[in-house]
Structure formats: structure tokens, C-alpha cells
């Protein structure tokens, strides 16, 4: 059975992180359509939006009911005090309600061995959740390139591949890609600095920026990427394989949960 056509009985439920956005002075919990489409079309799962309401969520209970957790990108950034730093500038966009939701939910998902796919801001949250730190202005770090998108280009062009990344030899991503190097898009101002506990590097940009990680020793799909595969999965092998593998991990967890329920 293909990832795009699972039976309804086995359809895994994947939680997807939401951002808080103000629309007409009212707060809304939002998710970009691209993530939803990739989860349905490439991963073959049912996405459920998790509101950014922090400790009002029973994280242990929520994680136990999920077959996967997708942590999305966002225009906002993780609050620097959460990784022991001061704000580098007063005008950096933050979303404290999202931080208060995703960081503890990630920790609980990892504890319960829920498959995790962390994208852009998501990889940064994964790193912080595991005790790592971030560069707040990656382009200001000596020797690093400017990884921000070119705002002078039309929006659809900003999501196109922008630079290569080198995949770690023999790594999980290298096996999925069937290649040592792939092209990725680039729409981030921040990036990983000190790696969180248990993370291993899967891909690196030419300037040394970490572009992908996985949790060493994890017994299910637990991957973070700095680029946006949800914009490339229809045409790029690695992007699609990432969603397919994430979906398969979700199906395996859903089947195991069903077996436990039947045996109870």
C-alpha cells in the first residue's frame, strides 16, 4: 500500500505545531497549508493541529495519543532565554505561547518514542529541547553565509533550492537520498550552535551550518532539517522520502497502539 493511500482503519494521527497569529486584533492558531498537504499527500497521515496553549495541554496524554509529531517552521524564533542567552536585538519576532507548547511536547514525544519530524524553527526547537543553543543572527557569525531568503524575489521563488548540503557519509539521510549531496532551499536567519544532547549531524551547508540532525539511538524516525521539504516533496527525492519515512513510522506506531488496545 502506498504512503498516499492508507486504509482509513490504519490512518495514523500526526500532531502538527501551531503558531499564534493576530488577525483583526484576535489571536488565531495557524499552520501553513504546505505542511498539511505534505502530510496528507506524501506521508499518508491525518494531521491534527495542536494549539499553542502551553501548560494547558496535558503533554503526557497528548503525546500518548499521537502517532507522530511534526514541528513546523515559522517566521518567529525561540525565546533566547530558553537556551541561556539574551536577546540579540529587540525586534526579533518571538512566539512564547508556541515555545511553551512545543518544547515540553517534544521532550514528552521523545520520551514516549513518538516519531518526530522537525522542520526549520522545528529543528531549532528540537535542539533547544535537548539542551542545545542557537545563533540568533547566523549571517553575523564569522565565516557563515546569509541563509535568509531574498525578499526581492516573488514568494514562490524563495522556496526553490538555493544551496547544496553535504550529507554525512553513511548517514540515514544519505541512504534516503542515494547521494552524498543534495540541493535545499534556505529561508532561515537563525541556526544551530551547540548541539543538544544525543543529536548527531546528518547534513552540513558549505559554510559549516548544521542543516539536519537525528537523535542517536532513537528507535523510530526522529529527524530535524533546517530547510523546508514540505515545499519540495513533489519533485525532490529526499524531501519526499523524508515524509514517506515519517508516515511509515506513524503507521507502525498506530498499529502497535491498536494491538495494545485490543489486548487490554
Write the pLDDT tens digit of every residue in 229-249: 999 999 999 999 999 999 999
Is the backbone of residue 25 left (phi > 0), alpha (psi -120 to 50) or beta? left
Per-residue DSSP letter, 9: G
User: CA separation (Å) from 18 to 28, 102, 259?
Assistant: 9, 9, 30
User: CA separation (Å) from 48 to 13, 18, 25, 233?
Assistant: 7, 10, 25, 20
Alpha-carbon distance of 258 to 111, in angstroms, equals: 20
Q: Is the pLDDT of residue 117 over 60?
A: yes
Cell of 244: 514517506
Residue labelled with grid coordinates 540515514: 172
- 161-218 pLDDT, tens digit per residue, is 999 999 999 999 999 999 999 999 999 999 999 999 999 999 999 999 999 999 999 9
Is the backbone of residue 176 left (phi > 0), alpha (psi -120 to 50) or beta? alpha
**Chain CA centroid to CA 249, Å:** 15
Per-residue DSSP letter, 41: I
> Which pLDDT score is estimated for 9?
52
Q: Is the pLDDT of residue 153 over 90?
A: no
Alpha-carbon distance of 197 to 110, in angstroms, equals: 12
> Which pLDDT score is estimated for 8?
46
Any residues with CB less than 8 A from the CB of 10 and at least 6 apart, and which?
A: 251, 254, 255, 258
**Chain CA centroid to CA 29, Å:** 17
Share of the chain above pLDDT 70, in %: 96
Residue labelled with grid coordinates 519576532: 93
**Active site residue ranges:** 120, 228, 230
Is the distance from CB of 200 to CB of 213 less than 8 angstroms? Answer: yes
User: What predicted TM-score, i.e. pTM, was given to this entire model?
Assistant: 0.94
Beta strands 222-225; 210-215: pairing state: antiparallel
Alpha-carbon distance of 67 to 62, in angstroms, equals: 10
Amino acid at each position: 500500500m502506498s504512503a498516499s493511500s492508507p486504509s482509513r482503519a490504519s490512518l495514523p494521527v500526526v500532531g502538527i505545531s501551531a503558531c499564534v497569529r493576530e488577525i483583526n486584533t484576535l489571536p488565531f492558531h495557524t499552520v501553513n497549508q504546505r505542511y498539511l498537504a505534505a502530510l496528507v499527500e506524501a506521508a499518508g497521515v491525518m494531521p491534527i493541529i495542536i494549539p499553542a496553549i502551553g501548560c494547558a495541554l496535558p503533554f503526557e496524554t497528548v503525546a500518548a495519543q499521537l502517532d507522530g509529531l511534526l514541528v513546523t517552521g515559522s517566521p518567529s524564533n525561540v525565546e533566547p532565554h530558553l537556551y541561556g542567552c539574551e536577546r540579540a536585538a529587540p525586534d526579533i519576532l518571538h512566539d512564547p505561547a508556541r515555545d511553551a507548547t512545543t518544547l515540553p511536547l517534544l521532550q514528552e514525544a521523545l520520551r514516549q518514542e513518538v516519531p518526530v519530524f522537525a522542520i526549520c524553527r522545528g529543528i531549532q526547537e528540537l535542539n533547544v529541547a535537548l539542551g542545545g543553543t542557537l545563533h540568533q543572527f547566523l549571517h553575523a557569525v564569522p565565516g557563515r553565509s546569509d541563509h535568509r531568503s531574498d525578499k526581492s524575489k516573488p514568494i514562490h521563488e524563495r522556496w526553490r533550492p538555493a544551496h547544496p548540503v553535504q550529507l554525512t557519509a553513511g548517514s540515514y539521510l544519505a541512504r534516503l537520498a542515494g547521494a552524498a549531496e543534495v540541493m535545499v532551499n534556505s529561508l532561515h536567519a537563525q541556526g544551530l550552535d551547540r548541539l543538544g544532547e544525543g543529536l548527531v549531524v546528518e547534513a552540513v551547508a558549505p559554510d559549516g551550518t548544521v542543516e539536519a540532525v537525528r537523535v542517536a539511538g532513537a528507535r523510530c524516525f526522529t529527524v530535524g532539517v533546517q530547510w523546508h521539504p514540505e515545499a519540495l516533496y513533489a519533485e525532490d527525492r529526499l524531501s519526499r522520502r523524508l515524509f514517506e519515512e515519517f508516515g511509515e513510522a506513524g503507521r507502525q506506531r498506530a498499529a502497535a497502539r491498536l494491538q495494545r488496545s485490543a489486548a487490554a
